[in-house]
Structure 1
Amino acid sequence: MALDGKTAVVTGAARGIGYAYCQRLAADGANVVAVDIEDPTAAVRELPGGGDKLGLVCDVGDPSRVDTAVGTVLDRYGRCDILVNNAGVFPFTDLDHVTIELWRRVQAVNVEAILLFARAFAPGMRAAGWGRIVNTGSGITLMQNRDLAYMTSKGTVHALTRALANELGDSGITVNAIAPGLVATDGFLGRVRTNGPSTEEVIARMTAMQTIKRPSVPADLGNALAFLVSDDADFVTGQILHVDGGVTRTGA
Structure 2
Amino acid sequence: MAGVQDRVALVTGGAQGIGEAIATRLAADGAKVAVLDLNADAASATATRIGAGAIGIGADVSKADQVEAAVERVVAEFGALHILVNNAGVLRDNMLFKMSEDDWDTVMNVHLKGAFLCSRAAQVHMVQAHYGRIVTMSSTSALGNRGQANYATAKAGLQGFTKTLAIELGQFGITANAIAPGFIETAMTKATAERIGSTIEEMRERVAATIPVRRGGVPADIANTAAFFAGEESGYVTGQVIYVDGGRGLL
TM-score range, shorter chain: over 0.9
Q: How does 1:1-252 map to 2 (within 5 A)?
A: 2-38=3-39, 39=41, 40-47=43-50, 52-249=53-250
Q: Is the 8 A contact 2:11 2:19 kept in 1?
A: yes
Distance 1:59 1:144, change over 3 A: closer
Say whether the 8 Å CA contact 1:136–1:177 is kept in structure 2: yes
Shift, 1:13, TM fit? 0.5
Identity, in percent, stands at 37
| Contact 1:90/1:150, CA 8 A, preserved across alignment | yes
Structure number having the greater helix percentage: 2
**How does the TM-score come out when normalised to structure 2?**
0.93
Report deviation, 1:191: 2.2
Distance 1:170 1:71 in 2: 24
Q: Give me the TM-score of the superposition, normalised by structure 1.
A: 0.93
Change (3 A) 1:182 1:22: same
* Aligned residues of 2:67 and 2:118 also touching (Cα < 8 A): yes
Note if contact 2:61-2:118 (Cα within 8 Å) is conserved in structure 1.
no
Question: Conserved in 1, the CA contact under 8 Å of 2:10 and 2:33?
Answer: yes
Contact preservation (8 Å) 2:145, 2:152: no
Residue 248 of structure 1, CA deviation: 2.0
Q: Report if the CA contact (8 A) 1:61-1:105 is conserved.
A: no
Letter in 1 for 2:165: L
Distance 1:33 1:144, change over 3 A: closer
Q: Which moved more, 1:130-139 or 1:95-104?
A: 95-104
SS of equivalent to 1:90: coil
Instruction: Give the deviation of 1:121 after TM superposition.
Output: 1.2
Letter aligned with residue 235 of structure 2: D
CA distance in structure 2 between the partners assigned to 1:249 and 1:159 by the alignment = 22
The one-letter code matched in structure 1 to 2:245 is D
> 1:195 and 1:64 mapped to 2: Cα distance?
37
Q: Deviations over 1:6-63 (max 9, x none)?
A: 1100001111000000111000110100001122111211116x5x210011121222
CA distance in 2, matches of 1:138, 1:128: 30
Secondary structure of 2:238 counterpart: coil
Distance 1:76 1:172 in 2: 23
Q: CA deviation at 1:93?
A: 2.4
| Code of the aligned partner of 1:170 | Q
Tell me the SS of whatever aligns to 1:96.
helix
CA distance in 2, matches of 1:225, 1:133: 10
1:146 partner SS: coil
Which segments of 5 or more consecutive residues in structure 2 lack a partner in the other structure?
Answer: none
| In structure 2, C-alpha distance between the alignment counterparts of 1:102 and 1:230, rounded to whole Å | 36
**Contact in 2 for aligned 1:4/1:29 (Cα 8 Å):** yes
- Tell me, which stretches of 5 or more residues in structure 1 are unaligned? none
What is the aligned residue count?
Answer: 248
Separation of aligned partners in 1, 2:74 and 2:174: 19
The farther-off stretch of 72-81 and 219-228 is: 72-81
What is the CA–CA distance in structure 1 between the aligned matches of 2:144 and 2:99, rounded to whole Å? 20
